Amino acid sequence: MARTKDFDEDEVLKKAVDLFWLKGYSATSMQDLVDSLGISRSSLYDTYGDKHTLFIKALERYQREVSSVFCNIINSDLPAKEIVKELLEMIVGELVSDKAHKGCFLVNAEVEVAPHDPEANQIICAGDQQVEDTFYLVIKQGQEKGEIKNKEDARALARFTFNTVKGIRVTAKSTSDKAVFEDIIKMAISVLH
């Protein structure tokens, strides 16, 4: 007879995301995980196998969460430029309110882990492509409706906008000065006019 787990796996993954996000993959020890997740070492190994598997599951959970938030915003009835602006402001709002200056979990993992870990790299690249595609759809529809006057290739504009997002996420590791981010958003939106 299989034993039932005496913990909520989603809650454990949420705590794992928070810990890996704060400390990074390499600096997070198995003891850190046991202490922070509130489950025994044996339950951790029985459920996730090892630190790497838990990290991958944490990345996947975070990616699903980010995708859900993005989908809610792009499915609004706002004009295209307003959708892009709202996405950028949402990202900045989350980053600026973070007193620990953790930046973005995915960007942090992209820099620390992805160059040496094909599995993490695949998750991050798929997530990046999804965000770029989101911007592409919004920009393309905005161009077709005449809401975005810039006639440059919609894919190129989406890549520029997404690169701006990555820059914002890195900058947030060293500053929470809202004026800095307001300037960045203003310039990014000006490209779409």
**44 near 54, Cβ under 8 Å?**
yes
Rounded to an integer, what distance in angstroms lies between the CA atom of residue 125 and that of residue 122?
5
Give the whole-number percent of the chain exceeding pLDDT 90: 82
Tokens of 79: 């004009």
- Spell out the CATH class of 62-191: mainly alpha
Rounded to an integer, what distance in angstroms lies between the CA atom of residue 22 and that of residue 182?
25
Residue 3 — pLDDT band, cuts 50, 70, 90?
Answer: low
pLDDT tens sequence across 128-157: 999 999 999 999 999 999 999 999 999 999
Closest-CA residue to 137 (of 162, 166, 161, 158): 158
* CA distances, 17 to each of 21, 135, 155, 180 (Å): 6, 25, 31, 27
Closest-CA residue to 7 (of 24, 29, 15): 15
At 4 the pLDDT is 54
Average of per-residue pLDDT across 25-42: 94
At 24 the pLDDT is 96
At 193 the pLDDT is 87
pLDDT at 23 over 60: yes
Average of per-residue pLDDT across 176-193: 95
Q: Report residue 190 CA to chain centroid gap.
A: 24
Q: What is the pTM of this model?
A: 0.89
pLDDT tens sequence across 115-129: 999 999 999 999 999
Closest-CA residue to 83 (of 127, 129, 135, 133): 135
At 34 the pLDDT is 94
pLDDT tens sequence across 38-92: 998 999 999 999 999 999 999 999 999 988 888 788 888 899 999 999 999 999 9
Round the average pLDDT of the chain to a whole number and report it.
92
Tokens of 71: 């989908």
pLDDT at 160 over 60: yes
At 133 the pLDDT is 93
